[in-house]
Each structure stands twice: as structure tokens, then as C-alpha cells.
Chain A
Amino acid sequence: MMFAPAPFLLKDTSVSRVMTQVCLALVPGIAAYAWLVGPAILVQIVIATLTALFAEALVLKLRDKPLAMFLGDGSAIVTAWLIALTFPPLAPWWLVVTATAFAIIFAKHIYGGLGQNPFNPAMVAFAVGIVSFPALMSQWPQVGLQMPLSEQIGVIFGLVPRVDALSGATPLDALKTALKLGEGSFGVAQLLANQDIYGNFAGRGWEWVSVGYLLGGLWMWQRKLITWHVPAAFVGAMTVLAGSLWLYDPAQFASPLFHIFSGGSLLGAFFIATDPVSGCTTPRGKLIFGAGAGLLAYIIRVFGGYPDGIAFAVLLMNLSAPVIDLLTQPAIFGMKDKS
């Protein structure tokens, strides 16, 4: 028999172990992304990872912290991967570098480093990108883009001029623009019939990337890296809101299926809103956090001006996380519940 003080962890759960598993869970999504949308994403992941490690090392040195321990924990790498996945794959290299450095230096270390940041660094990077460089951040390559990898790398590093084929919109954005331009002359169903853009259910290519994130997320849940609360509340709330609007007017609003599998919904639900640092920690708080993020994301992406709403939704919920946690304290074992 072993005697040890709390916490009574069943297995070794170091930060680096968790972060490695999160990275592993991202692999199916990244694989689908690279296969269906283009291998340029792998280049972006490399750029973001190198920038994140460099920025992390720089700040750690400034703060007189041990380099190896914090660099090796892998949290900067997860942030970098999430940034690369949310940015357009053919964005110029400096955009990803700027946003990643901003995320690590300002969103993470200014507040005290890992475990102290009130906002999700990857989402801060996305918000900085879309607010500062809205044009570049909305240029998504058309799916099935026939362009050799060398040329894609050239585009990223500014050696090859940016051509029109690069300046597409995401299926989500395309649908919103088409509905706005159409002024009700054609409905969602007619638009979604165009399989070149919208694929089978949520955007050609992108729907399978989302399925990849879903698989990775479910694996994380099965491994108990995340609990079911946040993703379930996120997807559930989005389904309810999207579903009721869809039932109300199917010509104006896309189905819940489309919304959940397009844009960053599933990446947000499983990988971003579940961030243990910037999110809620109580079980009821997690439900509120996830549901709030899902509702806000739907409202921003459908009624707002930005192509997707995950980043702003998560940042707004990050802001309210401390209050939610405070109001949802579970009753201590053996004590009577206050309510």
C-alpha cells in the first residue's frame, strides 16, 4: 500500500503528456486537411511551430525561467498548431509569424505564462489576424486547387504572385454572401445543391476535415483528456439554435448539420473551448461555457460581418469564465447544497 498526499492521480499526467496527446488528436483533422485542401497547411504548421518555440524561448529568457522545462511542455506547439489550422493555408508567412508571436508573447506570457492566461492564445492570434488583416484572412484557396506544392510554398513566402484562384471564400462565408446578394431570390437548398463548393453536407473537402477533428475529439474524450461537457454543450446549443431557425425559415438558414460541420465548429468545440486554462472548470460551468460559445459562434457567423464566429465567441466566453465558475461552485461533499 502506498501513502501519498493528494491529488490521487491514477496515472502520470504531466503537461507534456497531455499536450502530446492533443497534438496526436489533431492528426486526423490535419491529414484530411492536407489531403483534401492542400499540403500547404503542413508548411504553415512548421512556420507556426518554429515561431512559437522561438517566441517562447525569447520570453522565457527575458523572464529568467528554465528554458528546457517550459519549452518541452508542448503547450506552445498546441497553440501553434491551432493557429496554423485556423489561418488560411496560403496566408503569407509573416501573417502566421506575427499572429503566433503575438499569441505567445502577449496573450500567454504577459499574463504569466502557461496556466495564467485568461484568453485562449490561439484565438487571440486569430482575432488579431482578422481585425488587422481582414483581406488576407478571408482568402481561402478553392478546394481541389491544382497547384504544385513548390508553387504553394512560393505563394506563402511571397515568391509567386497571389492569383485569383487563391481568393476564394470558405463555404460558410460563400453561403452568407450568396444569400445577401440573392436577396431571397434563391434559398439555401438551391445554393447548397452546388456540390463544387458545398460538397455533400457542409462544404467540399472541409466537411471531412471536420470529421477528422470530430474523431480526434472523441478520442481525447475516450482518453479522458477532456470531459464531455464543453463539446456536447457547444454542439447541442448550436444545433438547437440553428435547428429552430432552420425550421422557422429553411430558405434563409442552413441546417444544423451544415453549421456543425463547416467552419471551425468542431475544432472549436473539441480543441479550443475545452482549453482547461481559459475555460471553466466546474462541470455546470463547462456546460454554460460550451453552450454560450456555441450560441455566440452561430450568431456571429450568421448575423455578423466576420466569416466565422468561433474565435470571438470563445474569447467572449473566456471573459465570462471566472464569473461562471464563481456562480457554479459544486456543493462540497457532505455539505448541504446552498440552493
Chain B
Amino acid sequence: MITRAEFKTIAHNGIWKQNTSIVQILGLCPLLAVTTNAVNGIMLSLATIIVMAMSNVAVAALRNFIPHEIRIPVFILIVAALVTVVDLLFNANLHELYLVLGIFIPLIVTNCIVLARVESFAAKNPPLQSTFDGIFMGVGMLWTLALLGALRELIGSGTLLGGIDMVFSGLQPIQLLPESYPGFLLAMLPPGAFILLGCMIAWKNWMDARAAERNRRKPPAPVEALGCH
């Protein structure tokens, strides 16, 4: 069905190498609007994971029956039906959070990540691989949105996991910085999201460059020629 190597590649691609937010830079609209705290980012990512896993498996199963010329409208119809399901689920079970996330749950339909994975992976691969691809792409989105949300929240208001009571009633946000922390409002505004996202991209590139450097160093480094470039 699925080899270990295949699984590892799919997971690595989704979580790190082709991360939706910091490599493909897809889905910036929910990213900017929703990540004012970690909880919102995580919950929207969870909704996206559900949609992506289900739409990938549906499209992969139907890939041989969908006429190539009209595949995009068909994909959109499948995704829209699944998003409606998730939308109703959120409305019924997490109503307060549903009000906060608002339009961004229905907007998962138009999220480029979902359509991109359906078009570039699920339409060409068997259902099992496509399911894992959907899940791991979603997990990649989850950790970046969670990290970005947590950073914005921490810098902007000094708390962590604000709004957690909307998911698990009884839990309280953590006040990490002292009460007198004035709050760096910029982090909560869209420019702050862009700046912090830029920092995260820089961090990822730095990690990759460091890893590449380490791999390159393994064999004895060739003597660098003196001269000018």
C-alpha cells in the first residue's frame, strides 16, 4: 500500500520541506487574519486538516473518473461540500470559537493550500498517500500557525493561549509576562504578522543553510581557490 520511505517523504514534505506557510507561502489571508492568538490558529488549522484529508481522499478515489477539462470545478465542489460539513460541525460544537473565526471557516474553500494539494497531489496519487499528504500538509500549517499565533500573542499582549476557554471551558489563558506589560500592539496588527512570518521564513532558511553546510562539511572540504569572483 504505502512504503515507509514514501510515508517519510510525504511527512517531511508536509511538515518542513514544502511547508504551506513558510515555504509555499499559501493561504496568507487566514494566516494574517486568524493568528492573533495560538488557539485560533490551531483550531483553523485543525478544520483545514479535516478538509484536506477528506478532499484529498475523495479526489484521489475519483481521479480516474473526473474529466480533465473540468477538474477544477469538480474539485471545488468536493471541497465546498466538505467545508460545509466542517462549518456546520464547528457551529454546532464550538459555537463561540465559530463566531471568532467567522468567515475564515467557509473561506477554507478558497484556500489555495487545499486546491493546490488536490490538484498537484491527490489527482495523481492513490487515496492512501493522498490522505497522508493532506494530513501532513495540514500539520505543517498547524505548527506554523500555532507558532505565529503564540508569538503574536506573547509580544502583543503578554499572554499565551488566549481564548482557550472557548475550546475547553474551565481552562484559562496563561499570563506569561507581568500584568504591567504594555502590549506591543504592532504584533497584533497585520504588519506584525508579516514581519513575524518573515522572521520565521528567515529562521527556516537559516536552519536549512546550516544543515546543508553540515552535509557539505562531512567529506573533507576541497581547498578553496584564492581569487576573485
Contact = CB atoms under 8 A, between A and B. Distances in A.
Contacts of A247: none
A133 B195 contact: no
A104 to B, nearest CB: 14
Chain B contact surface mostly: helix
Interface stretch (B75-83, B115-123, B180-188, B208-216): B180-188
B23 interface: no
A106 B189 CA distance: 16
A98 interface: yes
B184 A98 contact: yes
Contacts of A133: 182, 185
Nearest to A94: B182
Interface in A56-109: 98, 106
Name, among B186, B195, B198, the residue most crowded by chain A CB atoms within 10 Å (CB to CB).
B186
Name, among A98, A110, A132, A136, the residue most crowded by chain B CB atoms within 10 Å (CB to CB).
A132
A132 B198 CA distance: 19
A132 B189 CA distance: 9
A: interface residue count bin: under 10
A147 to B, nearest CB: 23
Contact of A131 (B182, B189, B195, B198): B189
B154 to A, nearest CB: 15
A27 interface: no
Interface in A105-161: 106, 110, 128, 131-133, 136
A106 B195 CA distance: 9
B: interface residue count bin: under 10
A5 B182 CA distance: 56
Interface in B176-227: 182, 184-186, 189, 191, 195, 198
Contacts of B185: 131-133
Contacts of A128: 186
Contacts of B186: 128, 131-132
Contacts of A131: 185-186, 189, 191
A132 B195 CA distance: 14
A98 B184 CA distance: 10
Contacts of B191: 131
A131 B184 CA distance: 9
A274 B84 CA distance: 55
A136 B182 CA distance: 10
A133 B189 CA distance: 12
Name, among B182, B185, B195, the residue most crowded by chain A CB atoms within 10 Å (CB to CB).
B182
A106 to B, nearest CB: 7
Contacts of A98: 184
B7 to A, nearest CB: 38
Nearest to B156: A132
A159 B191 CA distance: 33
Nearest to A95: B182
Contacts of B184: 98, 132
6 contacts: A98-B184, A106-B195, A131-B185, A132-B186, A133-B185, A136-B182
9 shortest interchain CB distances as A-B pairs = A132-B185, A132-B186, A132-B184, A128-B186, A131-B186, A133-B182, A131-B185, A106-B195, A131-B189
